[in-house]
A and B are shown apart, each in its own frame.
Chain A
């Protein structure tokens, strides 16, 4: 056995790909009804197939697309559409910051590809995987990439089918298939409730988001996360300060 082989950490690349495909089942099942809905709404709003598919291919973010379709269809000024997309997706800055320590050793191509596919659901899977195993020698990025590709393919396919069968899909909203994505999020969120503080910050964000759900362009989600993150930072700072005092 070579030295390199000895240093190679478990689990292997194949194992990570296999794990990634298994854990992505929930988010793929959750993404399909949303993709159908986006495609159907887009068709009914009068967007062409090319425009609809480009939205799913380039933006790859459900809630931003949903709002964007409405604005494009109503002829909103393009700077407003782009700015709104930025506001809705601003939370991704947090994802990028929180995962950056784990991807900094990867090549620019890998980092770009991971960033492109980093939807809410993929981020949640990635954060869980890296929390379990932060070893930079590992193949966790293959796990994340597998989930990312699976969701992307499902997203494009369901958008296409949604656009083609738009008129027949008006009842898809009532089936409750979207619950699969919330069940996935619950499974992921309980795993990060490792302290009473984490639970409290989660509950705070949930309550704020509920209180602000009527704010336009889903900005309530962003504001709630922002406020909860500031509270978490201050709280964590106080606790760390107290620990330092105790140590001294």
Chain B
């Protein structure tokens, strides 16, 4: 029974992923939804990033409890991104470096 449930879990996941790749025609997307599409990616990513970073586990070290490597890494990433928006690797690398250094320092 568990195996059937797992197969159904896979089926519903695939169904939502393929919904507009064929079964539903893009032309059936209303203008209202179409206007929102460019904002889906910033909305989803920020909805994942913000709670994950702000609710990250606290460090045991001496710094203030809100100052986690997650927060520092994210702030550095956004700061670099504000200057060099399209340099994916620069943003990624500086964010990870800030995370790692803060982890060592705290």
Q: Which residues of A contact B (CB under 8 A)?
A: 23, 26, 47, 50-51, 54-55, 57-61, 64, 68, 72, 78, 81-82, 85-86, 89-101, 103-104, 108, 111-112, 114-116, 118, 120, 123-124, 127-128, 174, 176, 179-180, 182-194, 197-199, 201-210, 213, 220-221, 224-225, 228-230, 232-233, 236-237, 240
Per-residue A-contact encoding for B32-46, CB less than 8 Å = 1, 0 else: 110111111111111
A108 to B4: give the CA distance in the assembly, Å.
Answer: 26
Say yes or no: B43 contacts A61, CB within 8 Å.
no
For the complex formed, measure the closest distance between the CB of B57 and the CB atoms of chain A, giving whole angstroms: 7
Say yes or no: A189 contacts B47, CB within 8 Å.
no
22 pairs of residues in contact across A and B, judged by CB atoms under 8 Å = A61-B13, A72-B2, A78-B8, A82-B5, A96-B16, A97-B29, A97-B40, A98-B40, A100-B29, A115-B18, A118-B17, A179-B99, A182-B70, A183-B95, A188-B88, A190-B77, A191-B88, A192-B41, A192-B42, A205-B43, A228-B39, A228-B47
Say yes or no: B6 contacts A190, CB within 8 Å.
no
Is the C-beta of B101 less than 8 angstroms from some C-beta in chain A?
Answer: no
Say yes or no: A55 contacts B6, CB within 8 Å.
yes
A111 to B21: give the CA distance in the assembly, Å.
Answer: 6
Helix, strand, loop or mixed for chain A's interface?
Answer: helix
For the complex formed, measure the closest distance between the CB of A111 and the CB atoms of chain B, giving whole angstroms: 4
| Residues of the B chain whose Cβ atoms lie less than 8 Å from the Cβ of A174 | 57
Say yes or no: B39 contacts A232, CB within 8 Å.
yes
Say yes or no: B6 contacts A51, CB within 8 Å.
yes
Say yes or no: A202 contacts B43, CB within 8 Å.
yes
Given contacts A112-B22, A115-B21, A190-B77, 16 further A-B contacts (CB under 8 A): A51-B6, A78-B8, A82-B12, A86-B12, A95-B44, A96-B19, A97-B37, A98-B41, A116-B14, A118-B17, A123-B41, A128-B88, A188-B88, A205-B46, A209-B48, A237-B32
For the complex formed, measure the closest distance between the CB of B84 and the CB atoms of chain A, giving whole angstroms: 9
Say yes or no: A190 contacts B14, CB within 8 Å.
no
| Residues of the A chain whose Cβ atoms lie less than 8 Å from the Cβ of B48 | 120, 182, 185, 209, 221
Q: Which residues of B contact A (CB under 8 A)?
A: 1-10, 12-14, 16-22, 26, 29, 32-33, 35-55, 57, 69-70, 73-74, 77-78, 81-82, 85-86, 88-89, 91-92, 95-96, 99, 103
| Residues of the A chain whose Cβ atoms lie less than 8 Å from the Cβ of B55 | 210, 213
| Residues of the A chain whose Cβ atoms lie less than 8 Å from the Cβ of B3 | 50-51, 54
Helix, strand, loop or mixed for chain B's interface?
Answer: helix
Say yes or no: A78 contacts B1, CB within 8 Å.
yes
Say yes or no: A94 contacts B85, CB within 8 Å.
no
Say yes or no: A236 contacts B103, CB within 8 Å.
no
Say yes or no: B49 contacts A186, CB within 8 Å.
yes
Of A61, A98, A189, A190, the most chain B CB neighbours within 10 A belong to A190
Name the one of B4, B5, B6, B35 contacting A236, with C-beta atoms under 8 angstroms: B35
Say yes or no: A116 contacts B17, CB within 8 Å.
yes
Say yes or no: A183 contacts B6, CB within 8 Å.
no
| Residues of the A chain whose Cβ atoms lie less than 8 Å from the Cβ of B81 | 186-187, 189-191, 193
A7 to B25: give the CA distance in the assembly, Å.
Answer: 28
A181 to B93: give the CA distance in the assembly, Å.
Answer: 12
A75 to B38: give the CA distance in the assembly, Å.
Answer: 40
| Residues of the A chain whose Cβ atoms lie less than 8 Å from the Cβ of B74 | 182, 186
